[in-house]
């Protein structure tokens, strides 16, 4: 079984989409192993997205992700990283497949409703960023 980190971003929390997004997780063979509602400071957001520090959109992205509450989750299942990325859809909702979360709910390229780790290395950084070992159910 693999684990991945999902975020429900501020644009989705603000539009009361937490339940609809968790429903997609639960009905597609992924188990919720940890979940919490948190607000990041700008500094914390910069830490979370430090891999994008050189990108032109880093300032806006970290401003946005710290603009309101987000839900952080650990998802567990077979091929959880790929499975969750497939459920999310392409980064730009205009390119996302029908039936994906980003196609159905995202506002635009930046406010695209959800995050998912892109590799086991990213999970190794992102999971302990949000959760202690005790907070992730066995
Ligand atoms: P991902 O979330 O699909 O893995 P990344 O390339 O890792 O996409 O980008 C991280 C996040 O940064 C995206 O989900 C989106 O919110 C934001 N983002 C990506 N590209 C742009 C851009 O060109 N302009 C503004 N925001 C962007
Ligand atoms: Mg990414």
Domain 2-41+70-135 fold is Alpha-Beta Plaits (3.30.70)
State whether residue 73 is helix, strand or coil: strand
Dump pLDDT digits (tens) for 30-40: 999 999 999 99
Pairwise CA distance, residues 68 & 28, whole Å:
27
Q: How high is the pLDDT of residue 93?
A: 98
Q: Compute the distance from residue 52 Cα to the ligand 1 centre, in Å.
A: 9
What is the C-alpha separation between 49 and 104, in angstroms, rounded?
24
In this predicted model, what pLDDT tens digit does every residue of 25-81 receive, in sequence order? Answer: 999 999 999 999 999 999 999 999 999 999 999 999 999 999 999 999 999 999 999
Overall pTM > 0.85 = yes
Nearest-angstrom CA–CA distance, 74 and 61: 22
Ligand in closest contact with the CA of 121: 2
Q: Catalytic: which of 24, 115, 116, 123?
A: 115
| 103 closest CA partner among 120, 128, 86 | 86
115 catalytic? Reply is: yes
Domain borders along the chain are 2-41+70-135
**pLDDT value of residue 47:** 98
């Amino acid at each position: 079984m693999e684990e991945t980190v999902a975020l429900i971003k501020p644009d989705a929390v603000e539009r009361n989409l937490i339940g609809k997004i968790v429903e997609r997780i639960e009905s597609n063979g992924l188990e919720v192993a940890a979940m919490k509602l948190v607000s990041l400071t700008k500094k914390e957001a910069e830490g979370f997205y430090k891999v994008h520090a050189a990108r032109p959109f880093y300032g806006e992205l970290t401003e946005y992700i710290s603009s309101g509450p987000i839900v952080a989750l650990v998802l567990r299942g077979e091929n959880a990283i790929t499975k969750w990325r497939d459920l999310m859809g392409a980064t730009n909702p205009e390119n996302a497949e029908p039936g994906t979360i980003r196609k159905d709910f995202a506002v635009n390229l930046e406010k695209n409703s959800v995050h998912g780790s892109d590799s086991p290395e990213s999970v190794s950084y992102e999971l302990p960023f949000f959760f202690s070992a005790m907070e992730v159910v066995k």
